[in-house]
A and B are shown apart, each in its own frame.
Chain A
């Protein structure tokens, strides 16, 4: 009897540990930090090559917390001394992790400032903001600009950077519970803009030509996706994913009628 109890306990413990460490590990190719293939970095020297080149994405569930880790090609730096304004130890990147937890429904429009939509049937229920900005600023911006999308927004309890990784910790209950099988993810690499456009949620714009603090290679109208790097299925980091990303972020824009044309429709990745 003692053996049965011990075995049962062991199995349960193993099972619980296994569930406790649900892990998603995805890769993104190096050198695809150019949005739809044409984007260039701003001209200010703080934007070092590779700063917006995502190389990996991990999700780990541990003791009621979900940890998101985004790998960057180069060391994460803090040129604007974020600690002095209550920030999180990095300055340039702003990462949004979109999570599809339910087969149907969800939001299909990206947060303001990105100009993206999600593919039909691949919309999201939650979006985690991994930003250098302090929580108060995020709460205020979301309240002010996210509209109905604010119910999907999750602000991490901790956000930090080390080496070439930016990490955020979220309580699982804020995501609606543990992330089950079939959960979809999309990671949007943007740049932290402390003085954003009136409608943009802390995002940096992409224009036709790069400016000191503006990405280039897009359009001066808000019809291009303001996104530097994303994941694309199967998210194993293959070179073919570079072209797949360019296709996913493809758009058309008519300066004479910027509201027409096709917007970028991006996919979820279901590991």
Chain B
């Protein structure tokens, strides 16, 4: 009994002890559930996934949940540790119980051991880091991070911040330091190259027909950033190197070497050949990108000036990487040759011009035709002001990632070779916000008889305005140009984009607003200079009207519609077969609800898409698509 009272007193005493913000050990959890439905027969809970992989995670119908657990440790004031484990997203509720063991191989069975690990919701270690703070002095501090990072310390042109779903996948050694009394900071990083997407063939060797034994465990990217941030602005210099190496297969010590015995095919000794139990390496692929960015931000003047200039250099060893342009139907994240290129971007922004709320932004951009940032941002970033063609953002890479996403997310497009300017005038007063964008794009990629057979990737589909509403990767439904397709055999193109955005907020229930976005794109491509028969003229119009209203505390509803009309003369075809004039009519009606309640976040979105594609040289196409997405998120 005495022990019981002693224990109770101990508990009561513990109750009174205050804990610091950073406990030695802490958890954070999140449960995320997504419903996805469409009037078709695909199963999965990711609308857009690449169909070329033998995977079953993409589809339009299903509901699944995932659980995330973050563990934080703080062994001392100077050291913190982090780990995140998360269940694999892909199990449908209907899977009920699925171990993923595939006990019976690929035979059809109903045992629950049938579908593979994607459907097993197993918990996977997603990332870990250990971070130490090393204060050399009161003004000079360093932080060393060993492990996971979202790579956000550089910029989209060089090494880009990885997309959210990859946020802990990048691992390396990172040093961040600052000297506060001279406004100076630096970042140094050595990053393990992802074997899956950085390099020719979207890999650092795997899947490359030229390599029998891909070697990826010594592939690294290196980055250095130096920033000076005085009161008047900032100057930032970033230099990065992506380096993929392979084993020299002619080295007699290399596994599989044809010269393991230091003899040639006739059995004669090779002069100078000797085994030393060490193998030589060669660089398969190298991409170095550097930028200098200066911002002038004068105090008391509502003006911001920004200049960015960069160089991109690519080297590849054709003995160690096969030609993805020739062998993969022009679908390749690199130009198949050594390249050097440049990029320049100049921005000016003046706010409150004459009257409060009036802002003028201007931008000049010039990105070389051979620019590539193989490890640059793939999505969720934007390097240009313009709304562009697709509205999602422009990135200077062929390595875009418009996949593992849902139909309500925006697409990103490559801006390699873009040369032009944007002016945006906006005015905001009270509940009113309006802006008008004018953009003109000339293309550094304009060229006749470009080699798209062996050198420049055209991503197979280069023609026609891209329909991101009804996108399919294999392009079986004539969805238009691949957003990565910046090279064509014959191109003489220019584009004019106008975007009007209006929004008005007014007093109704918990606040309401009505918004309109209208876009007009005039896209002209004279294509081959040998004839006028192939000249493309695209007139793309899009108008979206939405009305949103707060119904109750935390509850908001939105309803609206969109109408698109695309008139495309000579939309696609060949000189030999001819071109056709196509017309596209697309209507969309939608409504949605967002509900935030006591730490719970629920969202529902429904839309009906009607598309009538009238094609001159092929049968017309009709689409009547109902689809919806709902999500429920609780984090604690």
Asked whether A197 is an interface residue with its Cβ less than 8 Å from the other chain, the reply is yes
Stretch from B261-269, B325-333, B424-432, B487-495 contacting the other chain:
B424-432
A180 to chain B, nearest CB (A): 21
Q: Which residues of B in the span 125-173 have a Cβ within 8 Å of any Cβ on A?
A: 131, 133, 141, 143, 152-153
Which residue of A139, A212, A221 contacts B553 across the interface (Cβ within 8 Å)?
A139
On chain A, the residues within 8 Å of B553 by CB distance are 139-140, 143
Asked whether B511 is an interface residue with its Cβ less than 8 Å from the other chain, the reply is yes
Query: Is B596 within 8 A of A139, CB to CB?
Result: yes
Which residue of A86, A139, A157 contacts B554 across the interface (Cβ within 8 Å)?
A139
Of chain A, the residue at the smallest CB distance from B350 is A163
- Given contacts A49-B229, A75-B349, A140-B553, is CB(A160)–CB(B428) below 8 Å? yes
A69 to chain B, nearest CB (A): 8
Asked whether A81 is an interface residue with its Cβ less than 8 Å from the other chain, the reply is yes
On chain A, the residues within 8 Å of B351 by CB distance are 162-165
Query: Is A136 within 8 A of B550, CB to CB?
Result: yes
Complex Cα gap A73–B80 (Å): 31
Complex Cα gap A75–B297 (Å): 8
Query: Is B77 within 8 A of A209, CB to CB?
Result: yes
On chain A, the residues within 8 Å of B349 by CB distance are 75, 163
Query: Is A197 within 8 A of B596, CB to CB?
Result: no
On chain B, the residues within 8 Å of A31 by CB distance are 231
- Given contacts A60-B356, A140-B553, is CB(A162)–CB(B507) below 8 Å? no
Query: Is A158 within 8 A of B20, CB to CB?
Result: no
Asked whether A37 is an interface residue with its Cβ less than 8 Å from the other chain, the reply is no
Query: Is B598 within 8 A of A157, CB to CB?
Result: no
B514 to chain A, nearest CB (A): 13
B450 to chain A, nearest CB (A): 35
- Given contacts A75-B349, A195-B28, is CB(A45)–CB(B152) below 8 Å? yes
Query: Is A171 within 8 A of B153, CB to CB?
Result: no
Which residue of B143, B426, B598 contacts A43 across the interface (Cβ within 8 Å)?
B143
On chain A, the residues within 8 Å of B297 by CB distance are 73-75, 164
A82 to chain B, nearest CB (A): 12
Query: Is B380 within 8 A of A81, CB to CB?
Result: yes
Query: Is A144 within 8 A of B598, CB to CB?
Result: yes
Asked whether A236 is an interface residue with its Cβ less than 8 Å from the other chain, the reply is no
Q: Which residues of B in the span 296-317 have a Cβ within 8 Å of any Cβ on A?
A: 297, 299, 302, 304
Query: Is A221 within 8 A of B359, CB to CB?
Result: no
Of chain A, the residue at the smallest CB distance from B185 is A49
Asked whether A255 is an interface residue with its Cβ less than 8 Å from the other chain, the reply is yes
Binary CB contact string for chain A from 210 to 244 against chain B (1 if under 8 A, 0 otherwise): 11101000011110000000000000000000000
Q: Which residues of B in the span 317-342 have a Cβ within 8 Å of any Cβ on A?
A: none
- Given contacts A165-B351, A258-B18, is CB(A209)–CB(B133) below 8 Å? yes
Query: Is A75 within 8 A of B295, CB to CB?
Result: yes
On chain A, the residues within 8 Å of B187 by CB distance are 45
Query: Is B299 within 8 A of A212, CB to CB?
Result: no
Asked whether B587 is an interface residue with its Cβ less than 8 Å from the other chain, the reply is no
Tally of contact residues, A, Cβ under 8 A: 63
Complex Cα gap A139–B183 (Å): 39
Query: Is B77 within 8 A of A158, CB to CB?
Result: no
Of chain B, the residue at the smallest CB distance from A137 is B596
Complex Cα gap A258–B183 (Å): 34
Query: Is A169 within 8 A of B431, CB to CB?
Result: yes
Complex Cα gap A146–B507 (Å): 24
- Given contacts A43-B176, A135-B556, A157-B431, is CB(A48)–CB(B229) below 8 Å? yes
On chain B, the residues within 8 Å of A160 by CB distance are 428, 433
B13 to chain A, nearest CB (A): 14
On chain A, the residues within 8 Å of B32 by CB distance are none
- Given contacts A136-B596, A165-B351, A195-B635, is CB(A221)–CB(B20) below 8 Å? yes
Of chain B, the residue at the smallest CB distance from A259 is B18
Complex Cα gap A221–B77 (Å): 12
Asked whether B78 is an interface residue with its Cβ less than 8 Å from the other chain, the reply is yes
On chain B, the residues within 8 Å of A139 by CB distance are 510, 550, 553-554, 596
Q: Which residues of B in the span 493-549 have a Cβ within 8 Å of any Cβ on A?
A: 505-507, 510-511
Query: Is A73 within 8 A of B231, CB to CB?
Result: yes
Query: Is B433 within 8 A of A158, CB to CB?
Result: yes
Complex Cα gap A144–B599 (Å): 8
On chain B, the residues within 8 Å of A197 by CB distance are 21
Binary CB contact string for chain A from 1 to 39 against chain B (1 if under 8 A, 0 otherwise): 000000000000000000000000000001100000000
On chain A, the residues within 8 Å of B595 by CB distance are 136
Complex Cα gap A221–B553 (Å): 32
Query: Is B229 within 8 A of A164, CB to CB?
Result: no
On chain B, the residues within 8 Å of A134 by CB distance are 556, 594
Binary CB contact string for chain B from 391 to 432 against chain A (1 if under 8 A, 0 otherwise): 000000000000000000110000000000000001011110
Complex Cα gap A63–B302 (Å): 25
Query: Is A162 within 8 A of B77, CB to CB?
Result: no
Which residue of B80, B304, B556 contacts A163 across the interface (Cβ within 8 Å)?
B304
Asked whether A108 is an interface residue with its Cβ less than 8 Å from the other chain, the reply is no
Complex Cα gap A93–B542 (Å): 34
Complex Cα gap A43–B133 (Å): 10
Query: Is B510 within 8 A of A207, CB to CB?
Result: no
Complex Cα gap A81–B428 (Å): 20
Which residue of A45, A157, A209 contacts B78 across the interface (Cβ within 8 Å)?
A209
On chain B, the residues within 8 Å of A81 by CB distance are 380
A40 to chain B, nearest CB (A): 8
On chain A, the residues within 8 Å of B231 by CB distance are 30-31, 50, 73
Binary CB contact string for chain B from 623 to 635 against chain A (1 if under 8 A, 0 otherwise): 0000000000001
On chain B, the residues within 8 Å of A137 by CB distance are 554, 596, 601
Complex Cα gap A141–B131 (Å): 31
Binary CB contact string for chain A from 66 to 99 against chain B (1 if under 8 A, 0 otherwise): 0101000111000101001010000000000000
Binary CB contact string for chain A from 154 to 192 against chain B (1 if under 8 A, 0 otherwise): 010110101111010101000000000000000000000
Asked whether A55 is an interface residue with its Cβ less than 8 Å from the other chain, the reply is yes
Binary CB contact string for chain B from 177 to 190 against chain A (1 if under 8 A, 0 otherwise): 00010010101000
Complex Cα gap A171–B229 (Å): 38
Query: Is A165 within 8 A of B152, CB to CB?
Result: no
On chain B, the residues within 8 Å of A250 by CB distance are none
On chain B, the residues within 8 Å of A212 by CB distance are 131
On chain A, the residues within 8 Å of B409 by CB distance are 84
Asked whether B451 is an interface residue with its Cβ less than 8 Å from the other chain, the reply is no
Complex Cα gap A24–B505 (Å): 24
B431 to chain A, nearest CB (A): 5
- Given contacts A60-B356, A143-B553, A205-B21, is CB(A164)–CB(B302) below 8 Å? yes
Query: Is B77 within 8 A of A165, CB to CB?
Result: no
A63 to chain B, nearest CB (A): 7
Find the residue from A43, A79, A134 having the highest chain B CB count within 10 A. Answer: A43
Find the residue from B231, B299, B554 having the highest chain A CB count within 10 A. Answer: B554
* 10 nearest A-B pairs in the assembled complex, by CB-CB distance: A163-B351, A220-B20, A140-B596, A140-B554, A139-B553, A49-B229, A45-B153, A258-B18, A136-B596, A139-B554
Q: Which residues of A contact B (CB under 8 A)?
A: 30-31, 40, 43-46, 48-50, 55, 60, 62-63, 65, 67, 69, 73-75, 79, 81, 84, 86, 134-137, 139-141, 143-144, 155, 157-158, 160, 162-165, 167, 169, 171, 195, 197-198, 205, 207-212, 214, 219-222, 255, 257-259
Sample (6) of A-B pairs whose CB atoms are under 8 Å apart:
A60-B356, A65-B430, A84-B410, A169-B430, A220-B21, A222-B18
* 20 extra interface residue pairs, beta carbon distance < 8 Å, beyond A43-B143, A140-B554: A45-B187, A46-B152, A49-B185, A73-B231, A86-B594, A135-B510, A135-B550, A136-B556, A140-B596, A143-B554, A162-B351, A162-B359, A163-B302, A163-B352, A198-B636, A208-B22, A209-B78, A210-B133, A255-B20, A258-B18
Q: Which residues of B contact A (CB under 8 A)?
A: 18, 20-22, 28, 77-78, 80, 131, 133, 141, 143, 152-153, 176, 180, 183, 185, 187, 229, 231, 234, 295, 297, 299, 302, 304, 349-352, 356-357, 359, 380, 409-410, 426, 428-431, 433, 505-507, 510-511, 550, 553-556, 594-599, 601, 635-636
